């Protein structure tokens, strides 16, 4: 006997999650089948609710339920200082470390030369537009300390050169390959306080 069609469809759908292959999708589907009806329905509703209510902030691109987001619309924050991160989750991590009182800019990923992800595939242009529109004094490039994160940071630092602003990176000493949103608040805020001004590397052919 083949698997019932609805279970096959569920297994297929679950494989859309990153890192979930056929085996784990099958296990997840099995546990959904065993779940009581209310729990399963609440799970399905939570997915729909998030899709209906979350969209990127039109200024900093963090996932938000209001636009502009609560950070961009807070007059108490330093609107001359932008912290550039890869993902919305990094904003959450920075916020819980309570180190940054400025604004953010969510790139939505990293450049990756091998995969052909250039600066046009992430929100670099949007960042440059924000800086060009004036009032910005410092941009802290807090991409993750991975190879892709470093490539992205160097590219952005070069683009920002000559725009009359201070460009900084978190202090070295963040564990290499670390994800910002997995670091503890103390490590993050230490790297933040000791941030260093970037001396942009010369343009390389990529
Ligand atoms: Zn915002």
Distance 55 CA to ligand 1 centre (A): 11
Q: What is the pLDDT of residues 163-190, one digit of tens each?
A: 999 999 988 666 666 677 667 777 778 7
In this structure, the answer to whether residues 42 and 143 fall within a common structural domain is no
Which string of DSSP letters, residue by residue, matches 33-70? HHS-HHHHHHHHHHHHHHHHH-EE-TTT--EESSSS-T
Average pLDDT estimate for 183-199: 78
Residue 174 has a pLDDT of: 63
d(CA 66, CA 63): 9
Distance 126 CA to ligand 1 centre (A): 13
Residue 206 lies in a domain: no
In this structure, the answer to whether residues 95 and 77 fall within a common structural domain is yes
Question: What residues contact residue 127 under an 8 Å CB cut-off, 6+ apart?
Answer: 82, 84, 105, 107, 139, 156
Q: What is the pLDDT of residues 6-42, one digit of tens each?
A: 999 999 999 999 999 999 999 999 999 999 999 999 9
In this structure, the answer to whether residues 150 and 102 fall within a common structural domain is yes
In this structure, the answer to whether residues 11 and 102 fall within a common structural domain is no
Distance 104 CA to ligand 1 centre (A): 7
In this structure, the answer to whether residues 84 and 157 fall within a common structural domain is yes
Residue 205 lies in a domain: no
- Distance in Å from the first CA to the final CA of the chain: 53
Residue 203 has a pLDDT of: 56
Residue 203 lies in a domain: no
Residue closest to 197 by CA, chosen among 109, 128, 145, 137: 137
Residue 58 has a pLDDT of: 96
Indicate the pTM of the whole model.
0.80
- Asked if pLDDT for residue 146 goes beyond 90, the answer is no
Residue 109 lies in a domain: yes
Q: How far is CA 126 from the centre of its chain?
A: 15
Contact status, residue 180 vs residue 95, Cβ threshold 8 Å: no
Q: What is the pLDDT of residues 68-105, one digit of tens each?
A: 999 999 999 999 999 999 999 999 999 998 889 999 99
Distance 75 CA to ligand 1 centre (A): 12
In this structure, the answer to whether residues 84 and 158 fall within a common structural domain is yes
> In this structure, what CATH number is given to the domain that contains residue 31?
1.10.8.420
Q: By residue range, what is the domain housing residue 68?
A: 63-197
In this structure, the answer to whether residues 128 and 77 fall within a common structural domain is yes
In this structure, the answer to whether residues 48 and 72 fall within a common structural domain is no
Q: Name the domain count of the chain.
A: 2
Residue 35 lies in a domain: yes
**What tokens were used for 26?**
């099958």
In this structure, the answer to whether residues 18 and 112 fall within a common structural domain is no
Contact status, residue 198 vs residue 169, Cβ threshold 8 Å: yes
Residue 171 lies in a domain: yes
d(CA 115, CA 173): 28
Tokens 């990094």 sit on residue: 90
Of 204 and 77, the structure prediction assigns the larger pLDDT to 77
Tokens 């242009």 sit on residue: 125
Residue 182 has a pLDDT of: 67
In this structure, the answer to whether residues 30 and 125 fall within a common structural domain is no
Average pLDDT estimate for 132-143: 95
Contact status, residue 173 vs residue 86, Cβ threshold 8 Å: no
In this structure, the answer to whether residues 36 and 116 fall within a common structural domain is no
Residue 104 lies in a domain: yes
In this structure, the answer to whether residues 142 and 104 fall within a common structural domain is yes
Distance 92 CA to ligand 1 centre (A): 12
């Amino acid at each position: 006997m083949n698997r019932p069609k609805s279970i096959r469809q569920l297994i297929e759908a679950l494989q859309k999650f990153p890192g979930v292959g056929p085996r784990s999708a099958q296990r997840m589907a099995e546990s959904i089948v065993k779940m009581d009806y209310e729990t399963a329905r609440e799970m399905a509703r939570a997915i729909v609710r998030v899709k209906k209510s979350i969209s990127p902030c039109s200024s900093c691109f963090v996932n938000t339920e209001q636009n502009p987001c609560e950070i961009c619309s807070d007059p108490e924050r330093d609107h001359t200082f932008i912290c550039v991160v890869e993902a919305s989750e990094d904003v959450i991590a920075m916020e819980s470390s309570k180190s940054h009182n400025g604004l953010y800019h969510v790139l939505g990923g990293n450049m990756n030369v091998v995969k052909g992800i250039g600066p046009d595939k992430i929100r670099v242009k949007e960042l440059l537009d924000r800086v060009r529109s004036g009032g910005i004094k410092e941009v802290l490039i807090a991409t993750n300390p991975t190879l892709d994160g470093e490539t992205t940071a160097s590219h952005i630092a070069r683009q920002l050169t000559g725009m009359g602003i201070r460009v900084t990176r978190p202090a070295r000493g963040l564990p290499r390959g670390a994800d910002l949103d997995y670091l503890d608040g103390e490590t993050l805020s230490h790297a933040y306080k000791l941030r260093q001004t970037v001396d942009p590397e010369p343009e390389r052919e990529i």
